[in-house]
């Protein structure tokens, strides 16, 4: 259609020429050109659809030839510039071949006949050369623009395909993440900045229903680790996470009904945006009901056994002590009774440790505080440990000031020093030494127990203060112990507001440091 409409333009151009130059004979080149173009257009319009494409290309060449005929005359008409249109068409349809065809047709039908009819002068040559270049360049530019457009389109399509693949991957990952989110045995929830849940898995919902049987957050049934004291709403882990707190392994019981209630271990982390703003919180909770019930059974069992052992043991130790006071004892029997007394006392300490562990495992050890002299306590502990030290060939020294006024529980503090000193002797080989140093500075009492013993692996050092944890070397050498002394010592020291720490190197020895803050009154005195 576009090609055919060009005939109309040729007709108009002929009209202009007649208007400018006067009537043109019917049997003239210009009229023949327009007639040829019209005929070509009619042929294309009437051709079967399958042939239109080829014929339209031929028609473009016919139009160039018609333009050449239309321009026939003494002067080069401006209408020859119309050669641009069929050239564009050829460039568009045939690419590089179209460029060659447009240039060739312009040379053959416009330039050469023009030169032949008007003579070879500079103006003619210049004008016809320009016309040829214009035709070729139009076809070329169209072809180049088309190629660029096609490349851009191909790139856009490739990008679209990449995007579709990326979207598919994202969607697949989202589905996988969601499947994992729902399948894990852990309750998970994501809260927004206002503390509203934005993402919650089924498991979390189940625990939440137990903890908050009615929708009101203030009416939750959440209990502390012991399962007896109900937590105030602001202490409930979800409320703490909403306030931006981070925590690990906070244990709570949810639900009132004994059969259905569950023990949960909850952790929370803040969710921060790239600029560090807090935008929410992530909460996780694991069902630790079986573990907590097993621990309870263990504690009940240990308590029962320790209690049942303590009474007969106290009696044995007491009677042996009385027997040892007799002066008429056979020396061999005295030695044997001495061994019974020593081991009885060790057993007593062990049972006491087990009882302490069971009774105070969940919190600080209660203290019977009074004004006391820490220097006396340390000296007595060292004196009490001397027989053990000389028996195993460890040299025990102490450097303690005359007096250290302190307010605390003397029995518990003695338990700490006893434990650390007896460990220093127990974990030092014969020929080694242990040294106890007590000082007062910076408002603190420092008690240092240093030995030249087997030491503790760096990786084990922090764990040594946990319950029932023993060092690998202690286990390997089968040194007696159950791994409770340090954990109890830590609880006692912390109950006094102090700290206990260790520096140790395997094979070189250990240094345990107890730092206890002095009360304001003692500092003033």
Give me the least distance between CB of 409 and ligand ADP, in Å please: 19
Q: Which residues pair with 449 in a beta bridge?
A: 436, 512
- Report the C-alpha gap between 502 and 487 in whole angstroms: 13
Among 56, 139, 252, 484, contact with ligand ADP (rule: CB under 6 A):
484
Give me the least distance between CB of 491 and ligand ADP, in Å please: 11
**Cβ distance to ligand ADP smaller for residue 90 or 484:** 484
- Report the C-alpha gap between 202 and 181 in whole angstroms: 9
Pair 237, 189: CB distance under 8 Å = no
**Cβ distance to ligand ADP smaller for residue 259 or 468:** 468
Q: Cα(first)–Cα(last) distance of the chain, in Å?
A: 114
The encoded tokens of residue 500 equal 């206990």
Q: Would you count residue 10 as binding ligand ADP (CB under 6 A)?
A: no
The window from 101-109, 164-172, 245-253, 480-488 that contacts ligand ADP (CB under 6 A) reads 480-488
For residue 116, what are the contacts with CB-CB under 8 A and spacing of at least 6?
none
The encoded tokens of residue 225 equal 């680790």
**Cβ distance to ligand ADP smaller for residue 289 or 352:** 352
Please work out the total of residues on this chain that contact ligand ADP, with binding judged by CB under 6 A: 21
Pair 377, 410: CB distance under 8 Å = yes
Q: What is the C-alpha R_g of the chain?
A: 51
Among 224, 483, 501, 522, contact with ligand ADP (rule: CB under 6 A):
483
The encoded tokens of residue 237 equal 């882990």
Q: Would you count residue 394 as binding ligand ADP (CB under 6 A)?
A: no
The window from 229-237, 370-378, 485-493, 516-524 that contacts ligand ADP (CB under 6 A) reads 485-493
Give me the least distance between CB of 469 and ligand ADP, in Å please: 6
**Cβ distance to ligand ADP smaller for residue 455 or 498:** 455
**Cβ distance to ligand ADP smaller for residue 105 or 420:** 420
- Nearest one of 288, 287, 280 to 199, comparing CA atoms: 280
**Cβ distance to ligand ADP smaller for residue 88 or 456:** 456
Could you give the strand order of the β-sheet that contains 262-272, starting from the edge strand earlier in sequence?
197-200, 186-192, 278-287, 262-272, 247-254, 222-223
**Cβ distance to ligand ADP smaller for residue 482 or 521:** 482
Q: Would you count residue 481 as binding ligand ADP (CB under 6 A)?
A: yes
Q: Provide the 10 A C-beta neighbour count for residue 475.
A: 11
Give me the least distance between CB of 463 and ligand ADP, in Å please: 9
Q: Is 437 exposed, middle or buried (0-12, 13-18, 19+ CB in 10 A)?
A: middle
Q: Would you count residue 510 as binding ligand ADP (CB under 6 A)?
A: yes
- Report the C-alpha gap between 137 and 134 in whole angstroms: 5
Q: Is 97 exposed, middle or buried (0-12, 13-18, 19+ CB in 10 A)?
A: middle
Give me the least distance between CB of 264 and ligand ADP, in Å please: 29
For residue 486, what are the contacts with CB-CB under 8 A and spacing of at least 6?
419, 423, 464, 465, 500
The window from 260-268, 327-335, 407-415, 481-489 that contacts ligand ADP (CB under 6 A) reads 481-489
Q: Which of residues 415-474 bind ligand ADP (CB under 6 A)?
A: 419, 423-424, 427, 451, 453-456, 464, 470-471, 474
Among 222, 486, 500, 514, contact with ligand ADP (rule: CB under 6 A):
486
Give me the least distance between CB of 505 and ligand ADP, in Å please: 10
Give me the least distance between CB of 510 and ligand ADP, in Å please: 4
Site of tokens 């049934």: 221
- Report the C-alpha gap between 18 and 488 in whole angstroms: 120
Give me the least distance between CB of 481 and ligand ADP, in Å please: 3
The window from 109-117, 179-187, 440-448, 479-487 that contacts ligand ADP (CB under 6 A) reads 479-487
Give me the least distance between CB of 451 and ligand ADP, in Å please: 5
**Cβ distance to ligand ADP smaller for residue 41 or 510:** 510
Q: Would you count residue 29 as binding ligand ADP (CB under 6 A)?
A: no
The encoded tokens of residue 384 equal 């009490």
**Cβ distance to ligand ADP smaller for residue 342 or 470:** 470
- Report the C-alpha gap between 211 and 221 in whole angstroms: 5
- Report the C-alpha gap between 486 and 467 in whole angstroms: 8
Give me the least distance between CB of 479 and ligand ADP, in Å please: 7
Pair 367, 408: CB distance under 8 Å = yes
Give me the least distance between CB of 391 and ligand ADP, in Å please: 17
Classify 239 as helix, strand or coil. helix
CA distances from 102 to 64, 69, 191, 397 (A): 8, 16, 70, 112
The CB-side HSE value for 58 (13 A sphere, CA atoms) comes to 13
Kindly list the residues in this chain that would bind ligand ADP in the complex (CB under 6 A).
419, 423-424, 427, 451, 453-456, 464, 470-471, 474, 481-487, 510
């Amino acid at each position: 259609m576009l090609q055919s409409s060009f005939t109309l333009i040729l007709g108009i151009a002929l009209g202009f020429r007649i208007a400018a130059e006067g009537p043109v004979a019917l049997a003239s080149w210009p009229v023949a050109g327009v007639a040829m173009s019209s005929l070509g257009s009619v042929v294309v319009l009437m051709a079967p659809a399958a042939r239109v494409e080829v014929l339209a290309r031929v028609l473009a060449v016919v139009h160039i030839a018609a333009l050449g005929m239309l321009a026939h005359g003494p002067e080069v008409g401006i209408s020859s510039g119309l050669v641009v249109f069929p050239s564009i068409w050829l460039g568009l349809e045939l690419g590089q071949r179209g460029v060659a065809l447009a240039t060739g047709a312009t040379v053959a039908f416009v330039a050469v006949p023009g030169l032949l009819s008007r003579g070879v002068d500079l103006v003619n040559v210049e004008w016809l050369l320009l016309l040829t270049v214009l035709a070729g360049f139009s076809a070329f530019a169209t072809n180049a623009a088309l190629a660029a457009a096609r490349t851009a389109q191909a790139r856009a399509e490739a990008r679209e395909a990449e995007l579709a693949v990326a979207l598919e991957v994202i969607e697949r990952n989202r589905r996988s993440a969601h499947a994992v989110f729902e399948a894990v045995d852990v309750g998970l929830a994501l809260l927004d900045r206002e503390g509203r849940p934005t993402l919650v898995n089924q498991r979390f919902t189940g625990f939440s229903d137990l903890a908050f049987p009615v929708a009101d957050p203030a009416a939750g049934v959440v209990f502390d680790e012991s399962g007896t004291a109900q937590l105030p709403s602001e202490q409930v882990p979800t409320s703490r996470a909403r306030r931006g707190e981070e925590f690990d392994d906070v244990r709570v019981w949810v639900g009132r009904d004994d059969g259905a209630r569950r023990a949960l271990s909850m952790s929370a982390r803040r969710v921060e945006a790239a600029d560090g703003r807090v935008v929410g919180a992530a909460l996780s909770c694991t069902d630790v009901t079986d573990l907590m019930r097993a621990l309870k059974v263990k504690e009940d069992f240990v308590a029962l056994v320790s209690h049942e052992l303590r009474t007969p043991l106290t009696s044995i130790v007491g009677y042996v002590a009385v027997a040892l006071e007799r002066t008429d004892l056979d020396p061999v029997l005295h030695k044997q009774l001495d061994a019974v007394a020593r081991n009885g006392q060790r057993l007593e300490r062990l049972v006491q440790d087990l009882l302490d562990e069971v009774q105070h495992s969940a919190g600080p050890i209660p203290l019977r505080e009074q004004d006391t002299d820490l220097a006396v306590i340390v000296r007595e502990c060292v004196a009490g440990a001397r027989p053990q030290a000389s028996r195993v060939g460890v040299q025990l020294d102490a450097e303690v000031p005359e007096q250290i006024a302190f307010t605390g529980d003397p029995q518990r503090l003695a338990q700490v020093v006893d434990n650390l000193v007896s460990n220093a002797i127990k974990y030092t080989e014969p020929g080694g030494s242990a040294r106890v140093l007590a000082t007062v500075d910076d408002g603190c009492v420092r008690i240092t127990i240093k030995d030249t013993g087997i030491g503790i692996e760096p990786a084990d050092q922090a764990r040594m203060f946990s319950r029932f944890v023993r060092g690998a070397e202690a286990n390997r050498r089968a040194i007696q112990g159950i791994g409770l002394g340090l954990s109890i010592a830590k609880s006692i020291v912390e109950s006094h507001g102090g700290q206990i720490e260790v520096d140790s190197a395997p094979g070189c020895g250990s240094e345990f440091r107890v730092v206890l803050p002095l009360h304001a009154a003692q500092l003033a005195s």
